[in-house]
Structure 1
Amino acid sequence: MLASLSIRDVVLIERLDLHFGPGLSVLTGETGAGKSILLDSLGLALGQRAEAGMVRSGQSQAGVVAVFHPPASHPAHALLAEQGIESEDEIVVRRIVTTDGRSRAFVNDEPVGVALLRRLGALLVEVQGQHDQVGLADPATHAGLLDAFGGLDARRNAVADAYRAWRGAERALRDAQEAIAAAQRDEEWLRHAVQELNDLAPVEGEEDALASERQGLQGSERRAEAIASSLSELQPRDRRGGGAPAAALRNAARALERLTPASEEVSAALAALAAAQDALAEAENVLERLMGDAQPDPRRLEHVEERLFALRAAARKHLVAVVDLPAHLASLKERLANLDAGTGRVAALDAAAKEARAAYVAAAGALTAARREHAEKLEKAVVRELAPLKLDRARLHIEIAPREESAWGPDGQDRVTFLVTTNPGQKPGQLAKIASGGELSRLMLALKVVLARGSPVPTLVFDEVDSGIGGATAAAVGERLARVAERLQVLVVTHSPQVAARGAQHFQVAKGVRGDRAETRVTPLEPGARREEIARMLAGERVTEAARAAADELLAGAA
C-alpha cells in the first residue's frame, strides 16, 4: 500500500505531503489544476524517465519520496533482499532530479539504479491511464493472472518443480558427456599420469615430514664432521706417533724424569704432565664415543633427498602443490573411472533426463488443461462487468497457444494472451491496440474487478477512467472501483461526481497564485468541503442548492 507521497519543487508544486489510507482515494479538480503533476511525481518514484522540465522554476532540483507498506509476503521484499537492501515493514523510495535532467534514486537510503527502481515500482503500483497502461496490458503478466483467477497455484508450483528437476537432470547428463569427451581426448596421458603417480604413491603431509627429516640428517652430518676434526687434532699425524699431543706430553715427562734427584718444582711439573695426559686420554675416549653415536647414515639422507626431489618434480609437472598430489591423483583416478564406466553412467543419466522431461510435460499439460477451463470462466466473468460500463459489445478472448520447446519454462508450455474485440465481427487484438483510451481504461477496470483477488500489486492508479462517460455508466465505474478497493488500494483521478462520491478519501487539486507564481495545492477534504466539491462537479462554476442536494444524494447512495 502507498502510505504517503512527499513532493518538493516539482513543476508547480513547491511543497506537498499527502497521506493515503486503504480503500478508494479520489483526486478531483478542474482541468489544468495539476492532477497530472501528482501522477508524474508518483511515476518518478516508480522509475519513470526523469526530465529537467520537472524541476520547479528557480530551483536546483526536484525531489519525490514515496513510502510503501507492502505485506510481509510481498515479492518486493525478496527483490530488495537480493540486492542486500533491508525492507522489513516499510519501503521508502526517494528520487531526486536536477536541472540538467540527471537523477538519483534511493530505496531505504541505499542508492539504486533506475532499472531496479522500475522493477520495484512494477511490483508496488499499477497505473491504468488513457495513454499509458502497464500491468494488464503487458502479455507477460497474463498467464500469472489467469492462474491466480483459477486458483492454479498448486499446479503452477508442480510445473515449476518439474521444470527444475528436468533442467537439473539435463545439466547432469551434459556434464557427464562433457567429462567423458574430455577424458577420451586425454585417455593415453591420463593412464600414464595415474600409473606414474601410483608408483610415486604420494602421502598427505609427506613433504613436511621429509623436509624435517632431511634437515635433521644434515645437522647430524655437520656434527659428526666437527667431532672427527676435533679427534684428529688429538691423534698422531705420522706412523711414529709424532705430532700427537699425548706423545708430546709423554716425551716432556721422560725428559724431566732424567733429572736426579728431582726437585720439588720438577715433581710438581711431572704431576701436572701426568694429569694432562689423563685428561687428554679422557677427552679422546669421549670424542671416540661421540663419533660412534653421531655417525650419520649417508644412504638414508640420500633416500630422503631423492624422495623429496621426486615429489616436487611431480608437483611441478602436474602444476599442483606437493600437498595436493594425493587429491590430484584421486581426481585423475576418478576421471579414469568415469571414462571406464562412462557409457553406462551416461545411459542412466540420459534415461533420468527423459523421465524428468516426461514428468514436466505431464505437469505442464495438466496446467494447460486447467487454464483452458478457467479461461472460459474468466471470459464470461469479464463480459458480465462490461455491459454496465457501456462496453456491452466488447468481448475478452483468452488465447492459449503452445510455445516452442526452447521457450518452455517454470510457468508451463503456454503463451497466454488477453485479446479483446470492441465490436461484433472484429478480429481480436491486443488490449492496447484495439480499444480507444476511454474504452481501454474501462476494459482494464472490468478485468481488475474480476482479477483483484489474485493481483500481486497492492496499489492501483486509474487516470480518468471515466473519460467520455456520465450518468449510469459513471455510476457503474464508481461502483466497480469501490469493489476493487475492497481488496486493493485504489487511487483514481476523476471528473465524475458519481466516482468521486465513492471515495473513502477525497483530495481536491487546485491551482492558485502566490506572489507572482502559479502553484498547485492539494487539500484533503472534510465532509462539508467534499459536499461542495461534488456539487461543483455537478453544477459547474456556480454551485446551486439543487447541486448540493444532488451531491448529498450521491454521497448517501455511496455510503
Structure 2
Amino acid sequence: MLRSLDIRDMLIIDRLELVFEGGLNVLTGETGAGKSILLDSLGFVLGWRGRAELVRAGATQGEVTAVFELTADHPANAVLIEAGFEPEDDLILRRINTSDGRKTAWVNDRRVSGEVLRALSERLVELHGQQDDRGLLNPRGHRLLLDDFANLAPLIEATKAAWRQVSSSRKALAAAAATQKALAAEEDFLRHAVGELDKLDPQAGEEATLDVDRRRMQAAERIAEDIAKANAALSYEGAEGLITDATRWLEGAADKAEGHLDEALEALTRVVEALGDAQSGVEAAMQALSFNPAELEQIEERLFAIRGLARKHGVQPDDLGPFADELRRKLEALDGGAGDIATLTKAVKAAEETYDSAADALSSARLRAAGELDGLMAGELGPLKMERAVFKTELSEAEAGPEGRDEVTFTVATNPGAPAGPLNKIASGGELSRFLLALKVCLTKGQQGVTMIFDEIDRGVGGATADAVGRRLARLAGEGQVLVVTHSPQVAALGAHHWKVAKRVEDGQTLSEVTPLDAPARVDEIARMISGDSVTDTARAAARELLAG
C-alpha cells in the first residue's frame, strides 16, 4: 500500500508531501492543474518510462520519494530478496533526476538499477487508463490474467514439467540421431581401422621395448667380429698357448737360475689366471650378444608397423591401444544405435502424450474460466449502461510451449450484430474506460497489497453511469487501496479520502499544489465539479446529496 509520496522540484511542483490511506483515494481539480504530474512523478520513482524532461525549470535536480507499507507475504518481498535486500515493513523508494538527465535510484537507502525499480513496481502498483498498454489493454498479458483469475497455477506447473520432459527427450533423440549420422559417415574407416589395430594388437610400452632390442642387436652385429678376433687372440692358439709355452720353458730353466726366475714365474701364473678371467668375460659377452638375424628382422617389421599406425592416426605409439578402444566404442554405438534411436523415439512419444494430456487439461480449464469471466462481465456491463455490449474471451490455438498452446484475447462487440474485435481497438474512449473497470472488478478477487491507480477512467460518462463507475471503484478499494484521478462528482463523492489539485502563481512561476479536503471543503469541490466556476447553493445541495450516498 502506498503510504506517502514526497515530490521536490518536478515539473511545476516545488515541494509536495502527500500521505495516502487505504480505500478509495480521489484526486480532483481543474484541467491542467497538475493531476497527471502526480502520476508522472509516481511513475518516475517506480522506474516507468515517461517524460524526458521532469526537473522543474530553474532547479538543479528533481527528487521523488515513495513509501510503501508491505505485509510479510507481499509479492514485492520476493523481488527484494532476489536483489539482496532484507524485507522490512516499510519500503522506501527514492529517485533523483538531475537537470542534465542523469537518474539515480535508491531502495531503502541502497542504490539500485532501474530494472529493480520496475520489477518492484510490477508488484506494487497497477495503472489503468485509456492509454494503458501495461496491463489490461496489452493482449500479450490476457492469458496470464485469465490464468490468475482461474487459479490455474497447478495445471500450468504440470504443463511446464511435461514440456521440460518433451524438450529434454527431443534433445536426447536429436543428439543420438546426429551421432548416429556422423558415425555412419565414417563406418568404413572405423571397421578398417579397428581390423588393422586388432590384427597388430599393440601393447603399452611395446614400442620402447622393441626399440631397445633392435638397437642391442644392431650394436651386436657391428662388434661381433672384433669380439670373435679378441676371443681367438686370447685362446690356446693365441696368447694362452704362448704364455703356456713360456711358463714351461722358464720352469725347465729355473733350477739352474738360482732363483732369478721365481718372480717371473709367479707373474706368469697371475697372467694365466687373469687371462682365464678375460676369456670367460669375452665368451660371456659373445653369448649375451648372440642373436638370430631373423629375430632382428621380425622386431624391425613390428616396430615399423607400430610406428606407421601411430603416424597414420596421429597418436603416440603407446596410445594406439586406447585409440583402438575408442574406435571400438564408436562401432558399438553405431551397431547399437538403431536400438537406442528406437528407445529414444518411444520416450519422445511418451513425453509428448503426457504434454498433450496436460495441455488439453489446461485448455479445458481456460475455456471454462473464459465462460465464467464472460458471464461475470455481462453482469458488470449492465449497470455501466453497456447492456448491449458483448465481452468475450477468445481462445485460439498457439504454438505449443511450456504454458500450453492457447492464445487468449479479450474481445468486445459494442452493439448486437457488430463485429467483435480486440478490446483496445473496438471500444471508444468512454466505453473503453468502462470495459476496463468492469474487467478489473471481475479479475480482482481477494488481491491485496497492490495499489491500483485509475487515470480518468470515468471520462465521457456521467449521471447513473458515473455513479456505477464510482461504486465499482469503491468496491475494488474495499480490500486494498485505489487512487483515482477523476472529473466526475459522482466518483469523487464515493471516495474515502479526497485531495484537490490546483495551480498557483508565485514570483512569476506557476506551481501545483495538492490539498487534502475536509468535509466542508469536499462539499465545495464537488459542487464546483457539478456547476463549474460559479458554485451555487443548489450545487452545494447536490454535492451534499452525493456525499450522503
Fold shared by both chains (TM-score > 0.5): yes
Q: Is the 8 A contact 1:41 1:64 kept in 2?
A: yes
Shift of 1:548: 3.8
Q: Is the 8 A contact 2:94 2:106 kept in 1?
A: yes
**Which of these residues, 479, 485, 497, is aligned with residue 505 of structure 1?**
497
For the residues of structure 1 that align with 2:339 and 2:35, how far apart are their CA atoms? 71
Q: In structure 1, what is the equivalent of residue 96 of structure 2?
A: 96
Shift of 1:129: 1.8
Shift of 1:326: 13
For the residues of structure 2 that align with 1:409 and 1:74, how far apart are their CA atoms? 29
Q: In structure 2, what is the equivalent of residue 479 of structure 1?
A: 471
> Residue 33 and residue 552 in structure 1: after superposition, are their counterparts in 2 closer, same or farther (change >3 A)?
same
For the residues of structure 1 that align with 2:7 and 2:128, how far apart are their CA atoms? 22
Q: In structure 2, what is the equivalent of residue 111 of structure 1?
A: 112
**Which of these residues, 378, 384, 395, is aligned with residue 379 of structure 2?**
384
Q: Percent identity, aligned pairs only? A: 49
Q: Which region of structure 1 is more displaced relative to structure 2, 151-160 or 432-441?
A: 151-160
Q: In structure 2, what is the equivalent of residue 220 of structure 1?
A: none
For the residues of structure 1 that align with 2:71 and 2:40, how far apart are their CA atoms? 25
Q: Give yes or no for the alignment of 1:414 onto 2:406.
A: yes
Shift of 1:168: 2.3
**Which of these residues, 371, 375, 379, is aligned with residue 366 of structure 2?**
371
Q: In structure 2, what is the equivalent of residue 86 of structure 1?
A: 85
Shift of 1:396: 0.7
Deviation per CA, 1:479-509: give whole Å up to 9, x if none.
0001112234211001122211222222221
> Residue 188 and residue 9 in structure 1: after superposition, are their counterparts in 2 closer, same or farther (change >3 A)?
farther
Q: Is the 8 A contact 1:148 1:454 kept in 2?
A: no
Residue type at the aligned position of 2:344: L
Taking the TM superposition and a 5 Å limit, the aligned residue runs for 1:47-86 are: 47-69=47-69, 76-79=76-79, 81=81, 84-86=83-85
Q: In structure 2, what is the equivalent of residue 161 of structure 1?
A: 161
Q: Is the 8 A contact 2:147 2:366 kept in 1?
A: yes
For the residues of structure 2 that align with 1:326 and 1:547, how far apart are their CA atoms? 103
Residue type at the aligned position of 2:112: P
Residue type at the aligned position of 2:424: A
Taking the TM superposition and a 5 Å limit, the aligned residue runs for 1:338-349 are: 338-349=333-344
Shift of 1:19: 2.8
Residue type at the aligned position of 2:464: A
Deviation per CA, 1:45-101: give whole Å up to 9, x if none.
33333545321010122222333445555554445555x442624554443333344
Q: Give yes or no for the alignment of 1:523 onto 2:515.
A: yes
For the residues of structure 2 that align with 1:80 and 1:335, how far apart are their CA atoms? 52
Q: Is the 8 A contact 1:149 1:451 kept in 2?
A: yes
Unaligned runs of 5+ in 1: 203-309
For the residues of structure 1 that align with 2:75 and 2:188, how far apart are their CA atoms? 54
Q: Which region of structure 1 is more displaced relative to structure 2, 18-27 or 55-64?
A: 18-27
> Residue 29 and residue 93 in structure 1: after superposition, are their counterparts in 2 closer, same or farther (change >3 A)?
same
Q: TM-score, normalised by structure 1?
A: 0.69
Unaligned runs of 5+ in 2: 206-306
Taking the TM superposition and a 5 Å limit, the aligned residue runs for 1:237-256 are: none
Deviation per CA, 1:530-553: give whole Å up to 9, x if none.
343333333433444444443333
For the residues of structure 2 that align with 1:49 and 1:123, how far apart are their CA atoms? 17
Deviation per CA, 1:126-185: give whole Å up to 9, x if none.
222233343111112211222233333332222222222222222232333344445556
Q: Secondary structure at the match of 1:399?
A: strand
For the residues of structure 2 that align with 1:335 and 1:69, how far apart are their CA atoms? 64
Residue type at the aligned position of 1:350: T
Q: Is the 8 A contact 1:396 1:418 kept in 2?
A: yes
Q: In structure 1, what is the equivalent of residue 451 of structure 2?
A: 459
> Residue 12 and residue 200 in structure 1: after superposition, are their counterparts in 2 closer, same or farther (change >3 A)?
farther
For the residues of structure 2 that align with 1:98 and 1:525, how far apart are their CA atoms? 33
Q: TM-score, normalised by structure 2?
A: 0.70
Q: Secondary structure at the match of 1:388?
A: coil
Q: Secondary structure at the match of 2:386?
A: coil
Q: In structure 2, what is the equivalent of residue 42 of structure 1?
A: 42
**Which of these residues, 417, 420, 433, is aligned with residue 441 of structure 1?**
433
Q: Secondary structure at the match of 2:457?
A: coil
Q: In structure 1, what is the equivalent of residue 276 of structure 2?
A: none
For the residues of structure 1 that align with 2:362 and 2:168, how far apart are their CA atoms? 21
Larger radius of gyration: 2
Q: Which region of structure 1 is more displaced relative to structure 2, 105-114 or 373-382?
A: 105-114
Q: Is the 8 A contact 2:45 2:64 kept in 1?
A: yes
Q: In structure 2, what is the equivalent of residue 207 of structure 1?
A: none
Deviation per CA, 1:270-324: give whole Å up to 9, x if none.
xxxxxxxxxxxxxxxxxxxxxxxxxxxxxxxxxxxxxxxx9xx99xx789xx9xx
Q: In structure 2, what is the equivalent of residue 215 of structure 1?
A: none
Taking the TM superposition and a 5 Å limit, the aligned residue runs for 1:148-297 are: 148-182=148-182
Q: Give yes or no for the alignment of 1:31 onto 2:31.
A: yes
> Residue 51 and residue 133 in structure 1: after superposition, are their counterparts in 2 closer, same or farther (change >3 A)?
closer
> Residue 21 and residue 349 in structure 1: after superposition, are their counterparts in 2 closer, same or farther (change >3 A)?
farther
For the residues of structure 1 that align with 2:427 and 2:128, how far apart are their CA atoms? 13
For the residues of structure 1 that align with 2:502 and 2:382, how far apart are their CA atoms? 34
